[in-house]
Every structure is written in C-alpha cells, then in structure tokens.
A = this chain, B = another copy of it.
Amino acid sequence: MNTDKTRITIIGMGLIGGSLGLAIKKALGDQVRLTGVDREEETLRLALEQGAADHVTSDAGSGAIQADIIFLCIPVLQMVPVIKQIVPALKPGAILTDVGSTKCQITETILSIIPPEVHYVPGHPMAGKEKNGITAADQDLFLGKWFIITPYPSVSPQAAQTLADLIKQIGAKVTVMDMETHDWCTAIISHVPHVAAAAMVNLLEYSPDFESSLKLAGGGFKDTTRIASSSPDMWADICMTNGEAINDNLEKLQRILGEVIAAIRTGNRPYIHNFFQIAKRRRDELLVCEQEII
C-alpha cells in the first residue's frame, strides 16, 4: 500500500460524483487512491468499469477510513445521515466537502456534527446535465466551469487551499463567494428557473389537445424546460434547504407575471414590448459579460 498517495473518497457516484471520479483519475492517475461509495451495486460496478474509482464499497463508513478528502455528492438532505455514519471513521485533518446547490442551512448543520479536527469546506460546482447517474458521467464535465467555494469565518484556509488546488487540477475555475450571496443568487439564477421549468411542463396538463401541443412544441419549449428533466430528489432537497430565498423570488416572479397579465388585459402593448425588450437586452448583455468574465 503506497502511503504517499492522496486518498480521496467520493460518496454518491451519480452524475456529479462519477464525473468527479473520472476527472480526478484523468488528472492525477496513480497519484490518488480513489474510493467510490454508493448504495447501488450496479453503480459501483459501472464506476469501476468506467475508471471513476479504484475501489468501491456500499458502506460509507469503511469507504471514509483514512481518507484525506471526502466529497459528498448526494442530495443535500441525505448529507447529515451519511456524515453521522462516517464521523467515527474520519481521521484528524481530513477535509470534508460537498457539491450541494444550497449552502447556508447545510453548513450550519454539518459544522454542528463533525469533530473540530475535521475540516469542512463547502463547495458547489456549476456543472450539470439534465441526465442523472453514473452512465451520464463525463470526465470533462468541470472543464472551464466555475467551482464555487463558500467559506465561513472558522474555515481552515489551508484545507480550502488544498481543495482549491485539487479542483484546479481537474480544469475547473475556482472562485470564493460568501454563502448568503451564493444561496440568494443561486435561487434567482438556478432554483427559480428549475421550479418554473417544471411548472411549465406541468401546465401541459391543461392542454386541450396533447398531440397538437406536441406538434407545436418547437425548440423553444424543449430548451426552456430541459432542466425539468433533472433529478426530483436533488431538487426537492434544494427547495427544502433554500426555501426563504426561493420563495421570495418565486413571489417576485409571480408579481412580474401578474404585471404582464394586467398589461395584456388592458391592451398595453408598450408595457409588453418594454418587458420583452428589457429581457432581451439583459440576456444579450449577460452572455457578453459572461464571455468577458471567463
């Protein structure tokens, strides 16, 4: 057994965990000893077959023994029971991180259950697909994407740096953001659009003619609702752990729609034109800004 190797354990070998495993092995090869943990035997078999892990186990506790870095790649509300299970196995100095889409609530809970000699560094890669599971995993999923680290006052700077260095090695761009800003901005830019996309698909229930609707469904509908094909488990947990910011912005979205309804009812074309024009300008600007920032 080569003790010089960095021992990395990924808990949850789905789309993100599997892609992380592939990306780390691609970047670091034999410099790391990568353990994949999942409840599903088939997932573990595929993880090994695809080279997303060197070793696999369905037992999180034994998978975390001696690990230097542990990634939690599971829906946010599943993290606490899993952490309770692995805490006895965590060695002093181990770095625990996660890839959850909400940070404030879960960070507070995690800090209350891990021993002080374990370093928790909250993370959130801005990468995903509407497909789930290890079969959708992709070694290049994080390439050129932002990987957000959301520190808290007592975070270990050294642990955060170690994590950031690893993330950069898989080709992602690391940035630091305070977790309140993260959760609020993510609600607007990601969580509310997911809810709205699902709501638009569910609106089809009221379609007077499903087959006609299918014919009328152009690329616009497919793109707008693409994220509605995401994992219900993951998204239910996100709604449960960032409820305040999501609800506040869903209510704002309702109000914006209400203003459009009122303008349509009164035949106020200038209002509607302005509404679309502002949106177009802002989105076009956003794409330009994004290119500049990258």
Contact = CB atoms under 8 A, between A and B. Distances in A.
Interface of A: 77, 126-128, 145-146, 148, 175, 177, 181-182, 184-186, 188-190, 192-209, 211-233, 235-237, 239-240, 243, 246-247, 249-254, 256-258, 260-261, 264-265, 267, 269, 272-280, 282-284, 286-287, 289-290, 293
Given A177-B212, A224-B227, A243-B267, 11 more contacts: A128-B218, A148-B215, A192-B200, A193-B220, A196-B200, A202-B275, A202-B282, A215-B293, A217-B286, A228-B283, A229-B284
Given A254-B257, A257-B254, A236 B269 contact: yes
A261 B251 contact: yes
A236 B280 CA distance: 13
Contacts of A252: 203, 206
A216 B189 contact: yes
17 contacts: A128-B219, A148-B216, A181-B212, A188-B203, A192-B200, A195-B260, A200-B253, A206-B252, A222-B287, A223-B224, A225-B283, A239-B269, A239-B272, A243-B265, A250-B260, A250-B264, A251-B261
Contact of A181 (B209, B220, B231): B209
Nearest to A271: B236
Contacts of A194: 220
Contacts of A189: 204, 207, 213, 216-217, 221
A289 B204 CA distance: 14
A267 B185 CA distance: 21
Given A197-B279, A207-B188, A240-B269, A126 B227 contact: no
A102 to B, nearest CB: 12
